[in-house]
């Protein structure tokens, strides 16, 4: 299992940039899988707590049911457009994907206030522009391969 703390230990500067993008706005977007395998996109709040990436769902929510059935997820930071003429200042966007594990359930597996999930991280991505705002930069980290980078003109 790979926690957020593992990402921070492996690549502190990269992890700091990604966390800054997630912390900059309250609402994020999560992708889960419906029972028939089709994707579902939902709004969600997420937080970094005690070295873990955590998020929850309200009782009987569809995204919670999706994650209980199939724990795969992709989480996207809020997206803001680059300001015209100030593209080099654009912070970019971040994504984290992996699987979740349910945290804090009682014996019945039910929680009156919804579910709380902890992320087992498979990939972290930061997409941004270079200093001159002429090249798109994609950096991604995985537990197996560490940090990689590609530039696209």
The per-residue pLDDT for 77 is 98
The per-residue pLDDT for 106 is 43
Q: What's the pTM?
A: 0.92
Q: Round the average pLDDT of the chain to a whole number and report it.
A: 94
What is the band of 114 on the pLDDT scale with cuts at 50, 70, 90? confident
Q: pLDDT tens for residues 135-152?
A: 999 999 999 999 999 999
Q: pLDDT tens for residues 75-95?
A: 999 999 999 999 999 999 999
Domains of the chain, CATH where assigned: 4-152 (2.30.110.10)
Handedness of CA 62, 37, 109, 143 (dihedral sign): negative
Q: What percent of the chain has pLDDT over 90?
A: 90
């Amino acid at each position: 299992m790979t926690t957020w703390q593992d990402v921070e230990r492996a690549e502190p500067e990269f992890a700091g940039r990604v966390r800054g993008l997630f912390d900059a706005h309250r609402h994020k977007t999560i992708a889960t899988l419906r029972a028939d395998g089709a994707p579902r996109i939902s709004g969600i709040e997420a937080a970094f707590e005690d070295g873990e990436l955590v998020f929850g769902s309200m009782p009987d929510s569809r995204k919670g049911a999706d994650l209980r059935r199939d724990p795969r997820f992709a989480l996207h930071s809020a997206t803001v457009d680059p300001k015209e003429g100030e593209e080099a200042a654009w912070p970019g966007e971040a994504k984290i994907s992996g699987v979740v594990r349910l945290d804090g359930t009682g014996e019945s597996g039910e929680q009156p206030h919804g579910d709380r999930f902890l992320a087992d991280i498979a990939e972290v991505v930061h997409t941004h522009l270079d200093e001159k705002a002429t090249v798109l930069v994609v950096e991604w980290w995985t537990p197996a391969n560490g940090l990689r980078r590609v530039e696209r003109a």
